[in-house]
Amino acid sequence: MKAQYNCIVQERHLPEQLRPELIAGLKQATSDVLAIPTNEVEVAFRDIPHGDGWRGGELSTTSLVRGTIPPGCEQPVREQLLRTICAMWSRITGCDEDEVVVSAVDSDYVSKVY
């Protein structure tokens, strides 16, 4: 029973030194809410090259945290996970909550779609 996160961030916006703390936060939030051991949570980062990400006509500061979790997660639990991740990301990075988009889809959904 694994969980995976793909974090898409704007180059130069998120300092490298914050990534270990964000990874630990994602693993801990997933463990706390979904009871998945932290060693079964995988996290990867992808940088959008500086100047390629825009929002409202200005360089974007938005981070995307796209999760894949085991199937069968009840909606209230999924919402708790998303809220927990959003709050953790905002606390560590100092961003506003509208600068992070968090999603979590069931792993069986991903295998059906792709």
Measuring CA to CA, which residue among 105, 91, 111 is closest to residue 28? 91
Kind plus residue range of the DSSP H or E element containing 32? helix 19-34
Mean pLDDT in residue range 52-58: 89
The pLDDT-based confidence of 114 (bands split at 50, 70, 90) is very low
Between CA 87 and CA 108 the distance in angstroms is 27
Phi, psi for 9 (deg, rounded to 5): -130, 160
Tens-digit pLDDT profile for residues 19-36: 999 999 999 999 999 999
Measuring CA to CA, which residue among 63, 92, 62, 67 is closest to residue 79? 67
Q: Which residues face 48 on adjacent strands? A: 10
What pLDDT does 110 receive?
56
pTM: 0.91
Q: Do 27 and 65 meet the contact criterion of CB atoms below 8 Å apart? A: no
What pLDDT does 107 receive?
84
What pLDDT does 113 receive?
47
Mean pLDDT, all residues of the chain: 92
What pLDDT does 21 receive?
98
CATH architecture of the domain covering 3-99: 2-Layer Sandwich (3.30)
